[in-house]
């Protein structure tokens, strides 16, 4: 059965989701007639003892010389990243440790699959390939069995200054943003780098409600502003099989619960901001999995940022919580608060003004 006929046969699929898939299939056919070639846009993942979570997205792009293909697929940004054509239900070959696995992308072209891989702890490189195209490299951090500490961080207004009204964030990301157009929240890269130095082997997971389309821009932003390497967990905008739009809080909670199940021995430091639902999400997760949370750090938006964000969410009184909850205006204040409650220790290593 072809990809174009597979989707409508699925039971109880919302009509708008079927329509979206058919629209992308039509765009794919047009792109192929123009000589465009399929490729895989890869995103950093993570793994554990004997397995790796592989993340990527199958897209169709203009035919370019081999020497420029990686440059092109790695520099899709702004409106072009949203205009790029995904290939749903594509057959993808993933080669890890000399073993090739056949996997299938979802309706939106996203590859999110766990594969067996007996790898040593640390960062590992492997390849993804679609329809005989040139293999594209990806990376995942395999977490050692002795690691007991991890970091989950939100992105917008937590490590990256958004400073836009919420209704305009999507449009800004779609039509304008690149890594030069955004600024980091002061001190956040220092905070995260300090944590990974103090907690060797600790995984960093950037968990956001942003679309996979902006992942290349985020990866360049993290590199440019010296944020530690980590897995990126985003979502695919648009309708799902049973609802018109994906739920951001549900996406975050799902991945937090998944991390708790995958790494039962790790306690996570959860970092977010008070401009979205992070406090509610982390409260729910910590209540369900108190043994999986070492602490919560909430960045307070400035008055101007709060106005643009539509106001602050109420940060509940967590004085009776089983884990420490701290707040601060930036990374430097959060570092101080985390040190005061004993989550971090040692001499303050903030750069001098």
Domain ranges (residues) in the chain: 3-142, 149-340
Given a contact cutoff of 8 angstroms between Cβ atoms, the answer to whether 139 and 291 are in contact is no
Torsions phi, psi for 320 (to 5 deg): -95, 5
CA angle 100–135–178, rounded 5-degree value: 125
The single residue listed with the structure tokens 């000589």 is 35
pLDDT tens per residue across span 64-98:
544 444 444 444 444 455 556 888 899 999 999 99
Cα–Cα dist 79/211, whole Å: 12
Fold of the domain built from segment(s) 3-142: Immunoglobulin-like (2.60.40)
The structure tokens 């919560």 sit at 296
In angstroms, the CA 223 to CA 116 distance is 29
Q: Kindly report, residue by residue over 126-160, the tens digit of the pLDDT.
A: 999 999 889 999 999 999 999 999 999 999 889 98
Least confident of 4-13, 84-93, 136-145, 316-325: 4-13
Determine contact, residues 312/166, Cβ cutoff 8 Å.
no
Q: Which residues pair with 295 in a beta bridge?
A: 269
> What pLDDT digit, counting tens, does each position of 291-301 carry?
999 999 999 98
Asked if 3-142 and 149-340 have one fold, the answer is: no
Q: What is the pLDDT of residues 241-286, one digit of tens each?
A: 444 455 678 999 999 999 999 999 999 999 999 887 899 999 999 9
pLDDT bracket for residue 169 (50, 70, 90)? low
Kind of pairing between the strands at 160-161 and 183-184: antiparallel
Which CATH number applies to 149-340: 3.30.450.20, 3.40.50.970, 3.40.50.1000, 3.40.30.10?
3.40.50.1000
pTM (two decimals): 0.83
Find where tokens 């699929």 sit: 13
Q: What is the 3-state secondary structure (H, E, C) of the chain?
A: CCHHHHHHHCCCCCHHHHHHHHHHHHHHHHHHHCCCEEEEEEEEEEEECCEEEEEEEEEEECCCCHHHHHHHHCCCCHHHHHHCEECCCCEEEEEECCEEEEEECCCCCEEEEEEECCCCCEEEEEEEEECCCCCEEEEEEECCCCCCEEEEECCECCCEECCCCHHHHHHHHHHCCCCCCCEECCCHHHHHHHHHHHCCCCCEEEEEEEEHHHHHHHHHHHHHCCCCCCEEEEECCCCCCCCCCCCHHHHHHHHHHHHHHHCCCCEEEEEEECCCCHHHHHHHHHHHCHHHEEEEEEECCCHHHHHHCCCCCCCCCCCCCCCCEEEECCHHHHHHHHHHCCCCCCCCCCCCC
């Amino acid at each position: 059965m072809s990809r174009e006929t597979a989707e409508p046969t699925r039971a109880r699929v919302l009509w708008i989701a079927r329509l979206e898939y058919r629209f992308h299939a039509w765009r794919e056919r047009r792109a192929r007639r123009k000589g465009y070639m399929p490729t895989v846009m890869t995103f950093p993942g993570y793994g554990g003892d004997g397995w790796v979570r592989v993340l990527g997205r199958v897209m169709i792009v203009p035919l370019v010389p081999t020497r420029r293909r990686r440059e092109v697929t790695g520099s899709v940004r702004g409106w072009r990243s949203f205009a790029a054509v995904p290939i749903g239900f594509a057959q993808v070959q993933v080669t890890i440790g000399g073993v090739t696995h056949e996997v299938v992308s979802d309706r939106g072209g996203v590859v999110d699959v766990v594969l067996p891989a007996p790898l040593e702890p640390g960062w590992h490189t492997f390849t993804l390939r679609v329809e005989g195209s040139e293999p594209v490299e990806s990376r995942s951090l395999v977490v050692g069995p002795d690691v007991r500490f991890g970091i989950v961080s939100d992105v917008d207004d937590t490590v990256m200054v958004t400073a836009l009204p919420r209704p305009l964030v999507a449009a800004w990301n779609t039509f304008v943003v690149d890594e030069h157009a955004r600024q980091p929240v002061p001190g956040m890269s220092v905070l995260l780098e300090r944590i990974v130095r103090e907690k060797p082997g600790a995984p960093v997971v950037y968990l956001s409600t942003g679309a996979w389309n902006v992942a290349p821009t985020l990866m360049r932003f993290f590199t440019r502003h010296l944020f530690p390497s980590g897995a990126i967990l985003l979502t695919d905008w648009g309708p799902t099989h049973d609802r018109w739009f994906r739920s951001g809080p549900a996406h975050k909670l799902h991945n937090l619960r998944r991390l708790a199940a995958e790494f039962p021995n790790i306690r996570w430091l959860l970092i977010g901001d008070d401009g979205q639902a992070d406090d509610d999400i982390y409260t729910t997760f910590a209540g369900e999995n108190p043994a999986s949370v070492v602490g919560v750090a909430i960045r307070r938006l400035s008055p101007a940022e709060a106005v643009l964000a539509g106001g602050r969410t109420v940060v509940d009184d967590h004085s009776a919580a089983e884990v420490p909850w701290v707040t601060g205006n930036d990374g430097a204040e959060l570092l101080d608060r985390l040190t005061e409650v004993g989550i971090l220790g040692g001499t303050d290593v903030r750069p001098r003004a």
